[in-house]
Chain A
Amino acid sequence: MINIENITEEKVLSVLETIVDPEVPVLSIIDLGIVRKIEIYDAVTKPASAGVRVFITPTYTGCPAMDVINMNIRMALLENGFTNIEIKTVLSPAWTTDWMTEAGKQKLKAYGIAPPNIKQQVCMVDAFHEEEAIQCPHCNSYNTVLISRFGSTACKALYKCNDCKEPFDYFKCH
């Protein structure tokens, strides 16, 4: 159990690191970069009413995983002895794939999902605009082709590798 006076942000963070994205279960919510701030209040001054506030930001506005993530944060913190828990959603600044950690990108690739390219390749409105090559997570070839801009979830696009012939998901830039 947690002794309320000894709560630190690191302790909260270590609990949050165990929570994964339900759609991409190799990524923690820290890897994804959706935890924006952790606030601990009244820990020393009023231990009886002390608590923790976690600020998260949605990846996509319609992402159905957000409600599940919200609940999982609450459950994990409760299990670890935290009692007063507030989870707040902040929209601004808007989440971007740039906030995904390097470790997260490596985990994605190992899982068979091509990690997002760096920011310069964010979607342009121009039709049939040439997009930068996406590396196949299986054979590392750049000889790949877009099948559909919308994949199995809102955050992914569907690609195919012309060399190893495997289809794969690409976590698209956002």
Chain B
Amino acid sequence: MTLIPNYKFLIPYILHLADNTLILAQRNSEWCGHGPVLEQDIAITNISLDLLGQARNFYQYAAELVNQSTNQPINPATEDTLACLRDTRDFKNCLLAEQENGDWGQTILRQFLFSNYQYLLYEKLKENTDQQLAAIAAKALKEVTYHLKWSTEWVIRLGDGTEESHQRMLHAIGELWPYVDELFINAEYEIALLNDSIGVDVASLQPPWNKKTEEVFSEAKLEVPQNVFGQKGGKQGVHTEKLGYILAELQFMQRAYPNSVW
């Protein structure tokens, strides 16, 4: 018996994973040529490239399923159509990924918060019953390990650095904390897939995420904020106004010159 994939929930779930990585990659790539020093400019763009690679793998897999589920349509979905021809309401990335770069400290903190989450997520996803998701996660986990280590070291350097860098990290925490909770709230497609043992229960990632964050923050002389009102909606397509600007830049070429290829 061949198992028919649960397209209704599996496709949005894979798009959620893909959109997270694409949008954060796009944000990080905005630093290209603007990093505080050359080596760190190269580091943040390397991280961007890793995330873009993950996005491609997820979009390719999603496109395959979209085409299967619609019985090989005339205009088949591809990684490019999924990335470049969907609008804001179709994007399912977490709100954290689309937040502005701010200063270097804010970009670093966003990367740390996200890499910490992504590391725990992929560690579980690589054992998943969905073989393709497991393969993508196993490969990406090695890269995310470097991202987490790098961003952890920078949070410590800046938090426990000068008075100025410490103040900026406090500001970054204030800006980004409202978007932390959403990482750990399962969307309806995640809940539905968990019944088939596909995907990861993100709520279960919160305790280890908190533990790691507290450890790093204590070394960085920063405090984990308590009782911050959490914004949500990104995973359902309800975004902050920032996503539209990101997509306007990201999708410009495909919109202006339809079907152009590399």
Docked complex Cα distance between A122 and B131 (Å): 24
Inter-subunit contact A127/B39 (CB<8 Å): no
Inter-subunit contact A127/B46 (CB<8 Å): no
Residues of chain B from 222 to 260 with CB closer than 8 A to chain A in the complex: none
With A94-B138, A150-B47 as known contacts, state yes or no: A127 contacts B52, CB within 8 Å. Answer: no
Docked complex Cα distance between A174 and B262 (Å): 29
Inter-subunit contact A62/B53 (CB<8 Å): yes
CB contacts (< 8 Å) of B46 on chain A: these are: 150, 153-154
Q: Which residue among B119, B145, B149 has the maximum number of chain A CB atoms within 10 Å of its CB?
A: B149
Q: Which residue among A125, A153, A174 has the maximum number of chain B CB atoms within 10 Å of its CB?
A: A125
Residues of chain A from 78 to 136 with CB closer than 8 A to chain B in the complex: 91-95, 122-129
Residues of chain A from 116 to 174 with CB closer than 8 A to chain B in the complex: 122-129, 147-154, 158, 172, 174
Residues of chain B from 133 to 189 with CB closer than 8 A to chain A in the complex: 134-136, 138-140, 142-143, 145-146, 148-150, 152-153, 156
Is B42 close to A, CB under 8 A? yes
B contact face: mostly helix, strand, loop, or mixed? helix
- B53, B134, B149: the one within 8 Å of A149 (CB): B149
CB contacts (< 8 Å) of B119 on chain A: these are: 125
CB contacts (< 8 Å) of A24 on chain B: these are: none
With A60-B50, A61-B50, A62-B53 as known contacts, state yes or no: A122 contacts B142, CB within 8 Å. Answer: yes
With A147-B39, A148-B42 as known contacts, state yes or no: A95 contacts B149, CB within 8 Å. Answer: no
Inter-subunit contact B145/A61 (CB<8 Å): no
CB contacts (< 8 Å) of B136 on chain A: these are: 61, 91
With A61-B143, A94-B139 as known contacts, state yes or no: A150 contacts B150, CB within 8 Å. Answer: yes
Docked complex Cα distance between A67 and B79 (Å): 14
A contact face: mostly helix, strand, loop, or mixed? loop
CB contacts (< 8 Å) of A124 on chain B: these are: 145, 149
Residues of B within 8 A of A (CB): 39-40, 42-43, 46-47, 49-54, 56-57, 119, 131-132, 134-136, 138-140, 142-143, 145-146, 148-150, 152-153, 156, 216, 219, 262
Closest 10 CB pairs of A and B: A62-B53, A61-B53, A92-B135, A148-B39, A150-B43, A91-B135, A150-B46, A94-B139, A62-B49, A127-B152
5 contacts between A and B (CB under 8 A): A61-B53, A127-B152, A129-B149, A149-B150, A158-B39
Given contacts A62-B52, A91-B136, A151-B42, 20 further A-B contacts (CB under 8 A): A60-B143, A61-B53, A61-B57, A61-B139, A62-B53, A62-B143, A64-B49, A67-B262, A92-B138, A94-B142, A124-B145, A125-B119, A125-B148, A127-B216, A148-B39, A148-B42, A149-B146, A150-B39, A158-B39, A174-B142
